[in-house]
Structure 1
Amino acid sequence: MCLIVFSWQPDAATPLVLLANRDEFFERPAEPMHWWSDRPDVLAGRDLRGGGTWMGVNRAGRFAALTNFRDGRAPMTPKDTPSRGLLVSAMLDATSFDDDLLRIEKHAHEYAGFNLLAGDLPAGKLYWLGNRDVNGNDGAASAPVAHPVTPGLHGLSNALLDTPWPKLVSRRDALRQAIENTADDLTLLEVMRDASEAAEEALPETGVAREWEKRLSAAFIASPAYGTRCTTLLRYHRDGTIDIIEATVLPGQAPENVSNRREFTFPVFSAGIQAADL
């Protein structure tokens, strides 16, 4: 994921409304969102190279999503560095949410730069964990700490939570307006279909080439080689229902032409009720 905007209101009828764009090289093999055959309680896409995922949920109401931390000045990542997508799949285990989060805190420095959103939604828990500081330094010296997400509207791109990059601010504001206008599903998905690039003077400084920085400043990146590969809408309702729409993007496809959607709706099961019983 390269851009996530979301409303977190734990006491509302719909505590979580989240929109996300996954940006990646199209040549990297991946499967769209599906129920995993080897872990039937997990609903997520799958990175066929690294084995993990960029966003997913499970039937108990666990949620996790990941963005990379962009720092063009950082040294090359060693080839034996574990895939960051494994952090998401680890948070979708059926063990203790708090224990899993603590384990990731302890090992966060072993990964390339990342931001992790992780939640136990029925318990009203949502956390952000990053292993880089505002200057891009890693967390080897002091273990990163997961921070509870405060109620409100938030955004996460390839910097720290709520870093005001232009695309984050504009899409977070668009989400706010869509929620206030009780927008339907398609209108919510369209929030993430903005392909406009930021003005030169508004671009962040992340150490990558200026031309590349400008291309990455769009919320929706339409390019044949690297770009937005899917848009996801996820909602968790207080009645225990999760509904998800994922729209898959073809290489170079314009945002207005994206129409290939997969939809999922399922109840969160309570403790003591097995998924096989549903």
Structure 2
Amino acid sequence: MCLMVLNWRPDHEWPLLLVANRDEFRERPTHPMHWWPGADRDLLAGKDLKAGGTWLAIDQNGRFALLTNIRPGYIGKTGSRSRGELPIRFLNEHLSIEAFHRDVAEYLPEYGGFNLVLGDGERLFWFSSNHPDGQWLDAGIHTLSNDALNTPWPKTRKASRQMAEHTERFEQGLIDDLDILTDRQAADDSQLPDTGVPLEWERQLSAQTITGERYGTRCRTWVRMDRRGFVGVKEIELDASGGIRQDRDFSWNRR
């Protein structure tokens, strides 16, 4: 993913509400969100058919991992291992968040720049290539794009306001009516961050929903969990203009 906002309220009836956009080159082959074969229907994720990994994965226990890349300091740099393997490893290896964090921290130079948010149903943790120690997330609204957690870019500040405004309807499952991460408007040049890409790219990437024939927002994923064990996931595939091509709904009760 390349833009995420979540509302984390551990003591609330709906502890986790999350929306995330995946931005990618449109020619990169992708399988949409599905239950992965051979995983005993325990791993729900889309699949990058080029490298074999994913950007967001969740299992039937409500454990999940969400990945974004990092632009500042990593433009043009790649690692010997795919970042997309990290969400899959977290779920398949059944390690605690602490143990998985320690394991990945030993091999950070082997990956390109990344952010990773991990959830185990009770806690949320974030760490990144630039902030390897990471942090546990306090209750509240948090955002993530292609820099550190809660970096105040125009589209992340807007995402926080959107989540606050639409939280009640999100709890009710009225996803089709919610304007969260849907804005296609680029930020004003005076507000653009400097992440090392050309100005024209910086403008395009500043929109919440990125449009364009070559690169853009390929899908949007909604996740909501309640205290009784319900998990609801909806993935929306988007076309080059930001319109909806197809959507998929999944729901279950945590084991």
Alignment match, 2:190: 201
Which of 140, 148, 153 is residue 141 of structure 2 equivalent to?
A: 153
Work out whether residues 23 and 227 of structure 1, in 8 Å CA contact, stay in contact via their aligned partners in 2.
Answer: yes
What is aligned with 1:140?
none
- Residue pair 2:169, 2:175 contacting (<8 A) in 1 also: no
Give the structure-2-normalised TM-score: 0.93
Q: 2:238 aligns with which of 235, 249, 266?
A: 249
C-alpha distance 224-75 of structure 1, shift in aligned 2 (>3 A): closer
| Alignment correspondent of 1:81 | 80
1:14-163 equivalences in 2 (<5 Å): 14-40=14-40, 41-71=42-72, 74=74, 76-78=76-78, 81-93=80-92, 95-97=94-96, 98-121=98-121, 124-132=122-130, 144-163=132-151
Aligned partners of 1:3 and 1:21 also within 8 Å: yes
Q: Please tell me whether the aligned partners of residues 74 and 112 of structure 2 are also in contact (alpha carbons under 8 angstroms).
A: no
Q: 1:230-273: CA deviations, max 9, x gaps?
A: 011001111111100100112x1x33x3151100001111xxxx
Q: Secondary structure at the match of 2:94?
A: coil
Matched residue, 2:249: 263
The alpha carbon displacement at 1:102 in A equals: 2.1
Check the 8 A contact 1:27/1:225 in 2, yes or no. Answer: yes
Superposition deviation, residue 101 in structure 1: 2.6
Q: d(CA) in 2 for partners of 1:180 and 1:37?
A: 35
Aligned partner letter, 2:126: W
Q: What do residues 26-50 of structure 1 show as CA deviations (whole Å, max 9, x unaligned)?
A: 1111111000002231000011111
Equivalent position SS for 2:148: coil
Say if 1:193 and 1:220, in contact at 8 Å, map to a contact too: yes
Cα deviation, 1:106-135, whole Å, max 9, x if unaligned, reads 2223211100000101xx1110011115xx
CA contact (8 A) 1:105 1:146 kept: no
Structure exhibiting the larger radius of gyration computed from Cα positions: 1
Is the alpha carbon distance of 1:243 and 1:180 closer, same or farther for their aligned partners in structure 2, counting shifts above 3 Å?
closer
Deviation at 1:75, TM superposition (A): 6.5
Gap change, CA 1:230 and 1:180, over 3 Å in 2? same
Residue 232 of structure 2 aligns to which amino acid in structure 1? Answer: D
Distance 2:76 2:185 in 1: 30
CA RMSD of aligned residues (A): 1.6
Q: Which runs of 4+ in 1 moved over 4 A?
A: 180-183
Q: Once the two structures are aligned, what percentage of the paired residues are identical? A: 39
Question: What SS is found at the alignment partner of 1:159?
Answer: coil
1:261–1:181 Cα change, 3 Å: closer
TM-score, L = length of structure 1: 0.86
2:213 aligned residue (214, 217, 224): 224
Q: Deviations over 1:159-211 (max 9, x none)?
A: 000000000100111111001456621123x3121100100000001111011
Contact 2:6 2:142 (8 Å CA) reproduced:
yes
Match of 1:167 in 2: 155
